[in-house]
Structure 1
């Protein structure tokens, strides 16, 4: 079995890997430094009630940000450094929005300084930890484990014998459904007893790729894909409330975009299309029109539903609307009608959905949750249409359904913001 290296936790630098050192160090750095600077010029500042409220609020925001940051790190595709700034912006923003709502006075210097230093602390920590502790996983031979070593970003150690190994690792990967020898089975049991995590190869593949393999879905796999019904209901209510607020605030912008579309090319400002959504029901989706109108006989229904790279039908304004995802905003109406969510698998056009159902097993299962304006497949893969690419997209969709939670939705939201500014996956 594996033994922990002697003196591993005695190294001061290694202590940064402990949760309490990360959190306490972050609080001291982010809260203490701005407070000390203010006290250097105004020694009695801590007796000021406004500053006391700010310090307390910043501590809450920092703690919430740390918890959320660590929780988001359990999902693949989320670079630790890239998630820090939006995560702490979210928690600090929420806390100080509450203070603003109750009209409480606060120190802008302490609030702003704490936010910036919190982000700086965990960004630096992420860099140090990534160098101190690269992910190391050992692989037990036998069964279907060869494909896992092709995944980048992990230091793989192929085991040869089930003896004692002093090399430090974070876990052991094995095909637990394979016929392993008694020696290897005892080795895995010893690893688990010593505190070394043992992962099934399918489990680690899903965690590292963000996809669920769908070639051989078992009845147990399908059972684990049932979404949490309580969160499904809560999410639907929050979706509706957010959509109502956004529609009220964005109505003037909608009118302006619609006017610009009409001025650039003939045709309606809003594009309507039949798509397959929640529980396999067909509904009409709304988008800002980004293409020139074409005669119905120009191509068959399936070809018209596809968008190719550099599609000549896309207008100049339409290309900008697609890159920034502004063309999707009229789907707020679909959310208010209960047909869509802000986050979920993207609904496909009816002709494409029929085609995919013929080619891909279990395709209809993605309709078990409401389709979304953005989703896990969109932020990881982008826009695709061919069956081969849609098969991969379906694996992303199944991962989302299997891990259906507010935490994963937050990850998707953060990655969507990055996608909007980078234009990833737009056509």
Structure 2
């Protein structure tokens, strides 16, 4: 009985609606009841508490829905993303307190925040340990079952019955399935089991849009939101200006160190391809020996002999990209987007990789989904894979996705992932 109750409780806690209600009730209401019950008679105190409550409601809603949006791209978030997401929205709330000079209860903000973060971590633990999906697939057509920790793949051989343990059905719907299997898929849908076309499900699992089968994805479905692109531009300019007290001194110090190291001007400029296929001048800190950097467009390889000792450090930490903040202010680039490529490379890729030019439908970025997930490339085959990540970003362009990439960029800077 105890095992049955425990299993039932865990199943209930896996539903996001249940998690939402429990999290809000405990972290917002119960914490308030415990802390405020003694002095509700004071209208002044009630006003202070009301402002604190509104702020924490905002933090809770933003964190909860950010986590759910992030889960679309990362599935199990793990603790390294839960804490930054919560911290980000809490800092936004505290910034609102300072700007609007609101009264607040330190004890309520602290108590509610601690309980709220603990519950988010607990729910993610439940999802990570117990929410492994069982995906049944039909053995027809173009089927690929990658090894991922959050999915158990089950081959379906019998069209007469549906395994009750299967959570999702995957099938190549363009494979010309026999009638009995079409009836099987219809029966699964009627029983509430989601049926996904193989390319769509793999896109969600891998975070890539396969360009080998672009005919299965109408290009119209890859069009990014024009409204969000306008908002994104405003956010870019605001963040660059706000960050100047930190980035400007770093720019000066890095520039001086680079000039001492290379005996040349610290800024390296190069023509890159931007939004709409238009060329622009991109700026970086010089990281290569001046006499060796202009050797034509080529891939940067591991332990590239052209890179200086200081250059290797600033490339690993991505400090060499800081001058591109000027490109962001000019409107050539965004903080987040596909990395801009050299003109010669783009011309070659357009000949060898189908739909390559489509990545220029959005502004290039200092960091991007492909950059944090795949890193730098050394050949055309790797560039093709990286393009699939770029297409996934374009298709899912949103504030929450940009925020996720921002957090992953910080991790990339700390770990040096993908540096050349």
After TM superposition, the score normalised by the length of structure 2 is 0.90
Q: 1:417 to 1:109 in 2, by over 3 A?
A: farther
Q: 1:23 to 1:383 in 2, by over 3 A?
A: same
Partner of 1:106: 104
TM-align CA RMSD: 2.5
Distance, in Å, in 1 between the alignment partners of 2:385 and 2:403 is: 22
Q: 1:221 to 1:345 in 2, by over 3 A?
A: same
- How much has 1:417 moved relative to structure 2? 1.6
- How much has 1:212 moved relative to structure 2? 1.0
- How much has 1:65 moved relative to structure 2? 1.0
Aligned residues: 414
Partner of 1:44: 39
2:81 aligned with 1:86, yes or no? no
Distance, in Å, in 2 between the alignment partners of 1:34 and 1:294 is: 65
Please say if residues 374 and 418 of structure 2, whose CA atoms lie closer than 8 Å, have aligned partners that are also in contact: yes
Q: Of the candidates 55, 80, 83, which is equivalent to residue 53 of structure 2?
A: 55
2:235 aligned with 1:238, yes or no? yes
Q: 1:219 to 1:170 in 2, by over 3 A?
A: closer
Partner of 1:333: 326
Partner of 1:311: 304
Please say if residues 268 and 285 of structure 2, whose CA atoms lie closer than 8 Å, have aligned partners that are also in contact: yes
Deviates more, 1:214-223 or 1:119-128: 214-223
User: 1:312-391 alignment to 2 at 5 Å?
Assistant: 312-391=305-384
Q: 1:268 to 1:360 in 2, by over 3 A?
A: same
Q: 1:335 to 1:17 in 2, by over 3 A?
A: same
Q: Of the candidates 395, 406, 410, which is equivalent to residue 417 of structure 1?
A: 410
Partner of 1:122: 120
* Structure 1 counterpart SS, 2:335: strand
- How much has 1:312 moved relative to structure 2? 2.9
Please say if residues 70 and 77 of structure 2, whose CA atoms lie closer than 8 Å, have aligned partners that are also in contact: no
Q: 1:177 to 1:266 in 2, by over 3 A?
A: same
- How much has 1:195 moved relative to structure 2? 1.6
- How much has 1:134 moved relative to structure 2? 1.0
After TM superposition, the score normalised by the length of structure 1 is 0.89
- Which runs of no fewer than 5 residues in structure 1 stay unpaired? 1-6
Deviates more, 1:317-326 or 1:392-401: 317-326
Deviation string, structure 1 residues 34-59 (Cα, Å, up to 9, x no partner): 556656xx933785243342233212
Partner of 2:221: 224
- Which runs of no fewer than 5 residues in structure 2 stay unpaired? none
- How much has 1:13 moved relative to structure 2? 2.5
2:202 aligned with 1:205, yes or no? yes
Q: Of the candidates 5, 10, 20, which is equivalent to residue 17 of structure 2?
A: 20
